Amino acid sequence: MTAQTTTQPLHSDSGHVESRNDARQSEAMPLMGNEAIARGAWEAGVRVTVAYPGTPSTEIMESLGKYPGQDLQAEWATNEKVALDVAIGASFAGVRAMTSMKHVGLNVAADALMSQTYIGVNGGLVLVVCDDPGIHSSQNEQDTRIYGHLAMVPVLEPSDAQEALDFTKIAFDISERFDTPVIVRGTTRLSHTRSLVRTGERVEKTSLGFNENPQKNVMIPGHARMRHSALFRREEQVRQYLEESDLIRWEPGSQSVGVVTLSTAYTYVKELMPQANVLKLGVSYPLPGEKLREFCAAVHRVIVVEELEPVVENEMKLMGLEVEGKSLFPREGEFSPDVIRAGLEKAGLLQARKPGPELTVQAMPRPPLLCAGCPHTGAYMALRALNARVSGDIGCYTLAAVEPLKAIDTTVAMGSSIANATGMALAGSETRPIVATIGDSTFLHAGIPPLINAVYNQVNITVVLLDNHITAMTGGQDHPGTGRNLRGEAVHKVDYEDLIRSLGITWIRKIDAYNMGNLYQYLREATLYPGVAVVIVDRPCVLDPVKIKGEAFRVNAEACTGCQTCMNLGCPALSWSDELFEGHRKVKIDEASCIGCSLCAQVSTTNCILPVTAFETNA
């Protein structure tokens, strides 16, 4: 589907002493975009790689964790800013370093990036940032390229897995050659699409050692003022390099129309118009102005095909070039061949397709659900019963915001819940008990400063720490509360009770997530406590490390009155049966899905739900 890149890595003139094995390219092997990025970093001689998980970037670090420990340090960090700061530290120390994150992760890390861009690098410093057009698994849709512009940091734009590998290597070379952090920008399609990739050998890089240069390394105002002008010179140098670089590829075609495109949009354009006159940009910041002018002069009409924001289009317009773009293609949502086709049809470049046959079969809508036996379920059921005003956070438990639990009132960004609850308490207008709910990984990511703040400002809130012993939402990554690191080695395990107590909180209770009675009771007491009260709801995720499966439960149909209480859990193992009791549908349990958490049995008003063996004993 895609053209092979011809891009060759820059020759590093950075001062590292290189030792390379045979650099001959191997046979092609199928790699996912994220695996290819990891491979590219490894081949580039990266020594320190740090990340916090986030879809669609997570597999980059998971993949790096499989490379030999003597080659590189691969670490999970508590959040993206910590990850970037650790990578920055490694760069200061003179080795190549990389961090990877999802787009919103860069919001967290941006403070460090905005200073580091002034400092530049010692060892090469690469940030891989993966956008999520279409919001498959995020709280928003944002275009990282705008950050590249803001930070004046080159942004490379691979369009397939081969380029993901090649561009990651080039990113390190550009970083060292031009003294700049470099962003490699991916999107969900690039991260998760697998294609054939030619790999190379690792090039070992010796450490450059610490570069004693306070005027460059210490960003106080006097130094920062000098460094700011250096950014403009650097931008121009990178731009000049790009004019002749293989990162920009002109694929000639008809003079009537030229397409400027990049990232995965390029692959769709090639699929739909294989003969098109295309200027493929492997970079979105800075842009090669001369090359763009030359291209525009050679064609009668120029169309920019880029996903999300009109970044390239606007910049070309600022250069005085006449281009079309977002008048044809949407500014929101994920591109697909169909979306591009519609735009090209609108532009009159492709003939409208005859409408295909009407689809009569519709796929069943399948909204995301908490798993059967999910330990988050009971807490939200109890909070609903307590009529709490609940500020939520980001994690699997965010699903409790929708029917049938419908127990979360607000969700903003990772770590927002506790401070949002604090604000509601300070507003003084809320009559319901105010409760913040937050997962263990999210608590360690950004939940501790707002908890300190809540105590400091003496607000009256309850904080529910949903400790399922893992970062479940992103596929089960370890964190400092699990007692294991990325390579699965045992490390110190955070003791939440000790930690929370040390912040000045005295009302702390820990409760098994499956003990519905106590859960309700503790939450009730917590909401009555005048001050910050913390309830730790404890129980490992049902999918960690392997799916937990206890004895299944069954409904005694004779006793079921269709009271529906159990259905409020939203457990996917429960469904309506065809039998009726006084006009109400009775409930049945899919025993293959049931993991035996017993929550439905505990909330049932008629004691009609029992372990399967109870039926066998009675029989």
Ligand X SMILES: Cc1ncc(C[n+]2csc(CCOP(=O)(O)OP(=O)(O)O)c2C)c(N)n1
Question: Which residues would be at the binding site for ligand X (CB under 6 A)?
Answer: 52-54, 102, 104-105, 108, 138-139, 394-397, 414, 439-442, 468, 470-474
Nearer to ligand X, 316 or 370 (CB): 370
Neighbours of 140 (CB within 10 A): 10
Nearer to ligand X, 396 or 407 (CB): 396
Taking the C-alpha atoms of residue 380 and residue 406, their distance in angstroms, rounded to an integer, is 8
Nearer to ligand X, 182 or 470 (CB): 470
Nearer to ligand X, 422 or 468 (CB): 468
Least distance to ligand X from the beta carbon of 412, Å? 11
Nearer to ligand X, 52 or 147 (CB): 52
End-to-end CA distance of the chain: 62
Nearer to ligand X, 120 or 439 (CB): 439
Which residue's CB atom is positioned nearest to ligand X?
Answer: 439
Taking the C-alpha atoms of residue 330 and residue 323, their distance in angstroms, rounded to an integer, is 16
Least distance to ligand X from the beta carbon of 186, Å? 15
Least distance to ligand X from the beta carbon of 398, Å? 8
DSSP state at residue 363: P
Least distance to ligand X from the beta carbon of 61, Å? 12
For 338-360, b/e burial (b = at least 16 CB within 10 A) is ebbbbbbeebebeeeeeeeeeee
Nearer to ligand X, 87 or 299 (CB): 87
Nearer to ligand X, 167 or 380 (CB): 380
Least distance to ligand X from the beta carbon of 101, Å? 7
CA-based radius of gyration for the chain: 27
Nearer to ligand X, 265 or 571 (CB): 571
- Burial degree of 588 (CB within 10 A; 0-12, 13-18, 19+): middle
Least distance to ligand X from the beta carbon of 349, Å? 38
Neighbours of 522 (CB within 10 A): 22
Contacts of 455 (CB under 8 A, 6+ apart): 503, 504, 505, 532
299 to each of 111, 321, 346, 351, 425, how far by Cα in Å?
A: 42, 12, 19, 21, 62
Tokens for 99? 């961090």
Least distance to ligand X from the beta carbon of 105, Å? 5
Tokens for 288? 């090669």
Least distance to ligand X from the beta carbon of 413, Å? 7
Contacts of 383 (CB under 8 A, 6+ apart): 390, 407, 435, 437, 464, 523
Nearer to ligand X, 104 or 208 (CB): 104
Provide the edge-to-edge strand list for the sheet that holds 73-76: 73-76, 48-51, 97-102, 125-131, 182-187, 155-156, 283-285
Taking the C-alpha atoms of residue 581 and residue 561, their distance in angstroms, rounded to an integer, is 6
Least distance to ligand X from the beta carbon of 265, Å? 25
463 to each of 382, 385, 394, 450, how far by Cα in Å?
A: 14, 17, 15, 11
Can you tell me which residue has the tokens 């400063």?
A: 449
Least distance to ligand X from the beta carbon of 513, Å? 11
Q: Are strands 125-131 and 574-581 parallel, antiparallel or unpaired?
A: unpaired
Least distance to ligand X from the beta carbon of 151, Å? 17
Nearer to ligand X, 258 or 373 (CB): 373
